[in-house]
Amino acid sequence: MPKRDVRDLPPAARARIERFEASGPKTSLLSVPGAVGAEAAGFTPVGEVMGCVVQQVGWTAVSQWATDQVWLLADTLREGYATALGRLTEEASALGADGVLDIRFTTTSLDGTAQELVAMGTAVRAETAQRPGRLFTTDLPGQDVGKLMQAGWVPVRVAVGVAARGRIDNTMQLQTGFWAGNREVDTPTRVVNQVRAAARAEFARAIQDCGADGSIVSDLRLRTWPVQEVAVQAS
- The predicted model scores a pTM of 0.78
Whether residue 126 is found in the same domain as residue 212: no
d(CA 19, CA 140): 27
Domain contains 232: no
165 in the same domain as 150: no
Please check whether residue 166 is in contact with residue 67, taking contact to mean a CB–CB distance below 8 angstroms.
yes
Q: Looking at residue 60, what is its pLDDT? A: 54
Residues 109 and 186 in one domain: no
Per DSSP, what are the bridge partners of residue 118? 52, 106
Tell me how crowded residue 206 is: count the other CB atoms within 10 A of its CB.
16
Average pLDDT over residues 122-127: 90
Adjacent-strand bridge partners of 54? 116
- Judgement on whether residues 116 and 144 belong to the same structural domain of the protein: yes
Answer yes or no: do 115 and 71 share one domain: yes
- pLDDT mean across residues, the chain: 80
Domain count, the chain: 2
152 and 181 in a common domain: no
Write the CB contacts of 199 (distance below 8 Å, at least 6 apart in sequence): 161, 162, 163, 220
Residue 17, domain member (yes or no): yes
The pLDDT confidence band at residue 1, using thresholds 50, 70 and 90, is very low
pLDDT in tens, 131-169: 767 899 999 998 898 888 888 888 999 999 998 887 766
Choose one of 158, 187, 203: the last residue of a domain.
158
Cα dihedral value 183, 178, 186, 65, nearest 10 = -160
48-93 confidence digits (pLDDT tens): 899 999 988 765 554 455 566 777 788 888 999 999 999 999 999 8
Bridge partners, residue 107, by sequence = 117
Are both 38 and 101 inside the same structural domain?
yes
Q: Which domain holds residue 206?
A: 161-224
Q: DSSP for 88-152?
A: HHHHHHHTT-SEEEEEEEEEEESSSSEEEEEEEEEEEEE-SSS--SS-EE-SS-HHHHHHHHHTT
Of 124, 158, 192, at which residue does a domain stop? 158
Q: What is the pLDDT of residues 181-199, one digit of tens each?
A: 787 777 788 888 988 999 9
Say whether both 150 and 120 belong to one domain: yes
- Check whether residue 145 and residue 168 sit in a common domain: no
Same domain, 151 and 169: no
Is there a single domain that holds both residue 130 and residue 187? no
Q: Which of 136, 158, 180 is the last residue of a domain?
A: 158
Whether residue 229 is contained in a domain is answered as no
Q: Which residue has the higher pLDDT, 2 or 155?
A: 155
Helices (H) and strands (E) in the chain, counts: 6, 4
